[in-house]
Structure 1
């Protein structure tokens, strides 16, 4: 675990940001290095941790105030933040990015879990861990909550929840879905079902906040509604679904100011209180 670099923006933000490298499982019985940002508040650890999962999945973590307005308030409140470029992220190699095809959640979640364990062992973070993600990150957050892990709560923002319904309703589903799954729907839905957080929603037991724009064409509102309905039926986790009228897939960054304010206030409050 090497500290590759850092930037600090002064005491007024309580931000200490470090570019970190972690040795994690590669899903093939060996290990590899992944990189990302670790932000910590002032003071000694261990700190509670928010794990931020990026979109795409062929995207990468950026330090962008437009989509990370929750970072500084959480740092001020004593939280650490981990944002990784796990397998599937772009800008590393074609092989690294494409290896996640047909393996959503199965390859990248273990890398997050390994990094969290390493941070716990070094005394940086505590057992209070919350996951948050938007778009593909929303998929991965929902997937993670249905798997054994350290989660005390989760926030799912505009995620892919049901690969089958997403394939037929998303403005990108008719081609992105088949590419992401590595097969056409006509070749069978077994993989689409297995790689849907909806299929494991009954395993979720921690408080789950679902944030969704009503006019999201990329990950339509039905995705969030399906997850919320499944959680309510299962009765094992407190679930709250917030739908922003007229909100697009980017309601948190380009939506109405009142909706953006509400979005981040809910995200921060849900994290800080762990649901």
Structure 2
């Protein structure tokens, strides 16, 4: 009897451990699913002319996209399935959604400029798909993890969001052709070889000194609370231009005291 009872207890404990492992494995995918849901909802509301709401939903997709990777590393649930699922969600949220939001805002209906809008939107979606496929198939363990090759798709989508919030009124009417650059330029940068700084280490749950993350989060929250349009444009366009700006600002790093660098590291 005691042997049977011990076997039963071990079976129950094993089932509970297996259930917890499965729950941990699916937890990051729930954030990925939320990412996709927000991108899909952004497409739907853009058809109704609610462009700023669509931008907010894509912004939430960015948050969930950052969170799913951090959660996967925290619970040790990084998997090939999660990588592919994340890419498909990103294609919806940062490929289809931004391009359709801009086209819905750009198009006056069936007019002579619509084919240009179709072309620009297709360039964006194609570049986003190529960028995600290249990222999945060229994972180099010896590469510098601090940098991405090409503009990340969430960063490119941020340029579109900031532009819609700041210049939505100017994106309508006959003088709106310039808005196609908002799609074409970041789209081409996604498939370029330009290196962009990765901030993945800042949001890593294993980072030893999160002071820089906390300071940056406070500044961003205060900025969006007081001057959201300016803050969004500074962040989006600042990151877009960072490969050009950072080499110019690097000499100023010598002026920062070593103690401040140590605290913010």
State the TM-score bracket (shorter-chain normalisation): under 0.3
Higher RCO, 1 vs 2 (CA within 8 Å, ≥6 residues apart): 2
The TM-score with structure 1 as length reference comes to 0.25
The TM-score with structure 2 as length reference comes to 0.26
Higher helix share: 2
Flag the structure with larger Rg: 2
Higher strand share: 1
